[in-house]
Structures are given as structure tokens and as C-alpha cells.
Amino acid sequence: MYMRTDALPASVKDFLVGLAGITQFAGKFFRNFWRPPFEIREVFYHAYSLGQKSLLLVGITGLIIGMVMTIQMRPTMEQFGATSWLPAMVSISIIREIGPVLTALICAGKIGSTIGAELGSMKVTEQIDAMTVSGTNPFNYLVTTRVLAVTIMVPLLTIYADIIALFGSYAAMNLEGSVSFKLFIDQSLGSLLFSDMVPALIKSFFFGFAIALVSCHQGFTADRGTSGVGKAANTAVVISSLFVFVIDLLAVQITQLIIS
Amino acid sequence: MSKLSTSKQLSLGAFVALGVIIAIGVVYYLGTKRQWFGDNISTYTYFNNVSGLQAGNNIRFSGINVGTVERIRLASDSTVLVEMIVSREASGFIKEDSRASIESDGLMGNKVVSISAGSPDAPHIEDGDTLRSRSPASLDQVIASFKTTSDNANELTKNLRDISEKIQNSEGLLGKLLTDSAMAGRFETTLESFRETSLNTERISVRVSGMARDMQYGDGLIPRLLNDSVMAENLSHTMDSLSYASRNLASTSRKLEEFADRLNNEEGAVNLLLTDSIFANDLEKTLRNVKDGTTDLDELVQTVNESWLLNLFNGDKSKEEDKKNKK
């Protein structure tokens, strides 16, 4: 039995085809992941170029978000006479949600566009075809290494972003009041539970995996021509950002189910 | 194949290592907070209602977090078993007669299990011991209490309204006082009388006070009696003498009584005198003879006085005495 596809709008058909392509691409990644050669050096390189080089951007964003959240929340908390709860509220918000999602979005923008453009240009210039001809497995060399590196680096970047955001919150707390560092750490981390931290860390692995996989897929399937590179980079950012929110929604539901 | 330089490899290694160390540090910190890595003991308590207590909530002893709630499960249809992890260090201060209760950490805060201090002589708890519990006040009870208070306030307001209406309508003493000028005048007079009475009372009390002072420190008999020990001793002697005299008087009166009894007796002289006529006649005769004898004796004495022999010795003196008697 065949489904009639003529009646579907083109955008829906494109979406479904793209989703199917990404799913196939993920399957191909898991098949190739166990097959040698293991390009460890390439993993390190991408971990450095894609991950560590994003630290400054992620750090600045985290610092600003930590400060802004504290400054914005303070008047409301003061109305309830609960200023002492501010560190706890900020830390829970950052570690549970804002830290992982914000880092993932930053990475989706920076890493996704980089991967999409790199692989798209390689596709356009037929470098990938050349690698296949020369006997190198392009998927293992180009995709597996990037996906692995980004999957490892995004959680690490999330940890850094969380810590820097808490520093930003501490700085903002001391703009209008006076809170000792020890008291701030005690109040912010003391109110955290493992159920706050571990799910956030686990979902950031999925964020990294999704960003790298979608971006590699967009680069690998880039259209011929110079416009294909730009389109691949753009689409990589948009779809990976969308995936981040979808995974976040799923992660929240699964976490609630597990905790309760 | 892309190859990282040594410095970049070092940088990447430091980045990853630091991130992992931070993650492990936070995990260890949270674990320490939750008493996962320390030397702990398990202790249990039972509640009828845990009021929303959850696993992971803090255990407080003397206001300090000493552990966490490990597990909560139903023990029976009306009892909930709460398993608590308490640090061994703190357990040395928690006594077997300490009581666990469920409290709120602030108005909107989490629930905490609060352990009260037990008696100093009681032994401290050991691993696996069960603490007695104190049931928390449920929200329903609090609301019921509020409702009672609200009802009372309502009743009070109603009573106040009635009172104010009565005052407004010149009912009762207070209302008349506020509205009736004659009544107010009488009340004012009464108050004036009260004032004068109190002034008099004050004056009396001042005088009484003065009298008391005089009695204590003055020169009269009472201060001397109170303060002079010699006089008190003399008085004591006097009292002793009086006591002795009264005893003698009693004895004398007793003897007189016996004497009177004997006089009244049939064998007594008086009774004989009253009842025996012969004896009475004899006695009358005797008395008459005694009288006659006395008269004769007087005549004899007169004769002797007037005799010349005696006047020879006492002549001048008798004349002077006669003159004196005449004067």
C-alpha cells in the first residue's frame, strides 16, 4: 500500500524527507562508529577547534545570563522578602535549564554553521568524492570524528557555562548587596539535587550529538553550487537549534517520569 | 589528516580535565551535602502523616543539617515509616528519648525533619534505632483553629456593636453617663466624694504611720515596753509575782470556801447558833455578861485614872494632853 504524496504540501514533504535523511544518517553513524579506522587524532582536533574555541563565547554568554537573571529576579524576590533565596533560584534555573540550552544554542550557531559550511564546501568541491575514490572512508573521517568530538565537548562547555554563570550571579548579587562567596556557594549549590544536575548533563550529550549529526547531514547533503554551502550552513543552524528544543522537551518529560 | 600542535593538545587536555574535575567536584559537594560519602548511621521514625515530606529533605538537630531523609514508605494503613541517614558525628548527641517532628523550612520552604534534644542522661542512638515522633499539625487543624478564632472575633465584633448601640441609645449606666447630664453630675459628685474619702484615708494613714513610728521610736510606755529590755524584765518579774499572788489568792479563796462550807455545815458554830435556841440563849447570856463585865472594867479604869497615886507621877503630862484634846 502506497501513500499518496501528491496532496502533501512541498514544505511538509521536504520536512519529512529531511527527517528521514537525518534518521538514516544517524543509523549510518552508529554502524560506522564501531568500524576501524578510529581517527582519534581527528577527534582531538575537532574537540579543540570546535569545542575549546567556543569557550570564550559560551563563557561570556553564561556570565551575562547569570548577571542578568540575578538583577532581573531581585526586585520580585525582594517583594516577597525572599532575597536570600536568590542564589538558589538562579543556580537551579541555570543548572537545570538555562546553562545546557543556552550552551547548546550557542554551539548550534557556531559549531553547526562551521560543520555545515566545511562539509558543504567539501561536498561542493567534490573532496568527499575524492576521498571515497582514494580509499578513505569519508564518513568515518569527516562525520564520526566531528559527532564524537562535539558530543563530548558540549557537556564540558555546559559545565563551564554553568560555573561562569554562577560567578556572574555572585557578581550581580554583590552589586546591590553583600554576600560572601562561601555563603553564595552554600546557598546556590546547597539547594541543588542530583536530579537537577545529572539529567541536565545527560541531555547536553544529546544536544551535542544532535547538533553535530544534523550539521554533518546538512553539509553531506549540500546542493551543488556555491549557494549550497551557505544553505547548508544556515539549515544546519536552524534545524540543530530546533532539535535542541525538541530534545529538551523530551528530556524534561523523561526526567519528570523518572523522578516521580 | 589534521594534527594538533603540542601546545594545543596540552590546552585541550587541560580544558577537558578541568571540566571533568569541576563536574566531579560538584557531584562530590552535593553528595557530601546529602551525606552520601561520610560515616553515617540509619535511624527510623514513624509518623501518621508526613505532610508532604520527600526523600532527600534535610534532617535538622538543634537547627543544623545532620542528615537527609533516605526513604519514605507506608508501614501500615495509618503509619508511615521514614528512614533517615544521620552523620555518625551528630548521632552522638541525639539521645534515645529525642523526638522527631516534621516542620517547614520557612513559610514556603521544604519540609524538614527536626529532631529535638533528649535528656542529657539518656544514651545516644545507634545504627538502626527508632526515634519517637511528634505528629505535625496538619493544615486542616490550622484552618480549623483559624476558623474558631475568626468565629470568636465575629462574636466579639457583634457584642461590641450591641454595646455601642446601647451606649448610643442611652441604655445602661455608661450610655446614661454619656448622654444624661444630671446623671453625669451625680456621678461627678460621687467621684468628688470618693476623692475626699481617699484624702481622708490618706490623712488617717499618715497619722497611723506616725503612731506606729512613735510606738517604735518614742518615749512612751509602749515603746519602752517594746524596746527597753530591763523594763521588760521587770515587767516579767511583776507578772511572775502577780501570777504567784493569784495562785495564793486562789488557794485562800479555796480555803475560805472550805471554811464557809464548814460554817454552813450542821456541825458548825454558825449553824448551831442559827438552829439551836438553847445555845443561842446561852450565848446571849454570855455576851450580856461580857458587856456588863466590860462596863465594870471601864468604871474601874476611870477610878484608877482619877486616883491621886497615879496622878502623882503623870500630873503635868495629863494636863498637857487634856489641853491638846480640848484644842
Three-state SS letters, B197-217: HHHHHHHHHHHHHHHHHHHHH
Residue B265 pLDDT? 67
The domain locations on chain B are 40-133, 139-326
* pLDDT, tens only, B192-211: 988 999 999 999 989 888 88
Sign of CA dihedral A91, A96, A101, A106: positive
User: B317 pLDDT exceeds 90?
Assistant: no
Let me know: does A196 contact B34? Beta carbons within 8 Å. no
Residue A15 pLDDT? 80
User: B106 pLDDT exceeds 70?
Assistant: no
Per-residue pLDDT band at B51 (split at 50, 70, 90): confident
Round the CA-based radius of gyration of chain B to a whole number and report it.
58
Q: Does B4 contact A193 at a Cβ distance shorter than 8 Å?
A: no
3-class state of residue A222 by DSSP: coil
Three cell numbers at B190?
460621687
Among A180-189, B116-125, B199-208, B312-321, the minimum mean pLDDT is found in B312-321
Question: Based on the number of CB atoms within 10 Å of its own CB, is A148 exposed (0-12), middle (13-18) or buried (19 or more)?
Answer: buried
Let me know: does A155 contact A257? Beta carbons within 8 Å. no
The candidate with the shortest Cα–Cα distance to A87, out of A103, A101, A66, is A66
- Across the A:B interface, residue pairs with CB atoms under 8 Å apart total 56
Tell me the C-alpha to C-alpha distance, in Å, between residue B113 and each of B3, B49, B100: 58, 12, 6
User: Which chain A residue has the Cα nearest residue B22?
Assistant: A159
Residue A80 pLDDT? 81
User: Which chain B residue has the Cα nearest residue A131?
Assistant: B1
**Counts for chain B of helices (H) and strands (E), in that order:** 10, 7
Task: Give B169-189 as a DSSP string.
Answer: TT-HHHHHHHH-HHHHHHHHH
Among A212-226, B4-18, B304-318, the minimum mean pLDDT is found in B304-318
What residues of chain A lie within 8 A of the CB of B26, using their CB? 189, 192, 197
User: A163 pLDDT exceeds 60?
Assistant: yes
Residue A112 and residue A233: Cα distance in Å, rounded?
7
* pLDDT, tens only, B142-169: 778 888 888 999 999 999 998 888 887 8
Residue A99 pLDDT? 93
Residue A29 and residue B70: Cα distance in Å, rounded?
42
* pLDDT, tens only, A171-200: 998 888 777 888 888 888 877 888 888 899
Residue B273 pLDDT? 66
A202 touching B (Cβ < 8 Å): no
Rounded (10°) CA dihedral A199, A201, A204, A209:
-100
3-class state of residue B134 by DSSP: strand
Backbone angles phi, psi at A31, to 5 degrees: -70, -40
Residue A9 pLDDT? 81
Three cell numbers at A139?
564518513
Residue A212 pLDDT? 93
More confident residue, A13 or B44: B44
Residue B270 pLDDT? 64
User: A62 pLDDT exceeds 90?
Assistant: yes
- Residue B282: in which H helix or E strand, if any? helix B277-305
Q: Which residue has the cell 450565848?
A: B283
Tell me the C-alpha to C-alpha distance, in Å, between residue A229 and each of A117, A242, B109: 5, 20, 54
Residue A151 and residue A147: Cα distance in Å, rounded?
6
% of chain A with per-residue pLDDT over 70:
98
Residue B82 pLDDT? 92
User: A143 pLDDT exceeds 60?
Assistant: yes
User: A161 pLDDT exceeds 70?
Assistant: yes
Nearest to B8 among A42, A48, A189 (CB): A48
What residues of chain A lie within 8 A of the CB of B4, using their CB? 41, 44-45, 48
B142 touching A (Cβ < 8 Å): no
- In DSSP terms, B61 is beta-bridged to B64, B115
* pLDDT, tens only, A197-256: 889 999 999 999 999 999 999 888 888 777 888 888 898 999 999 999 999 999 988 888
Question: What average pLDDT does range A2-30 have in this prediction?
Answer: 81
Residue B36 pLDDT? 63
Residue B54 and residue B42: Cα distance in Å, rounded?
16
Q: Residue B192, Cβ neighbours under 10 Å: how many?
A: 10
Q: Does A197 contact B30 at a Cβ distance shorter than 8 Å?
A: yes
The candidate with the shortest Cα–Cα distance to A234, out of A218, A217, A255, is A218
Question: What average pLDDT does range B94-109 have in this prediction?
Answer: 80
Q: How many angstroms separate the CA of residue A3 from the nearest CA in chain B?
A: 46
Among B61-65, B271-275, B289-293, the minimum mean pLDDT is found in B271-275
3-class state of residue A131 by DSSP: helix
The domain locations on chain A are 39-259
The candidate with the shortest Cα–Cα distance to A147, out of A24, A25, A16, A21, is A25
Residue B136 pLDDT? 66
A192 touching B (Cβ < 8 Å): yes
The mean pLDDT of chain B is: 81
Residues near B130 by Cβ (< 8 Å), separated by ≥ 6?
B43, B44, B45, B46
Whether this model's pTM surpasses 0.95: no
Residue A57 and residue B102: Cα distance in Å, rounded?
47
B6 touching A (Cβ < 8 Å): no
Tell me the C-alpha to C-alpha distance, in Å, between residue B164 and each of A184, A203, B158, B174: 57, 70, 10, 10
User: B138 pLDDT exceeds 70?
Assistant: no
Residues near A31 by Cβ (< 8 Å), separated by ≥ 6?
none
Residue B322 pLDDT? 63
Q: Residue A207, Cβ neighbours under 10 Å: how many?
A: 30
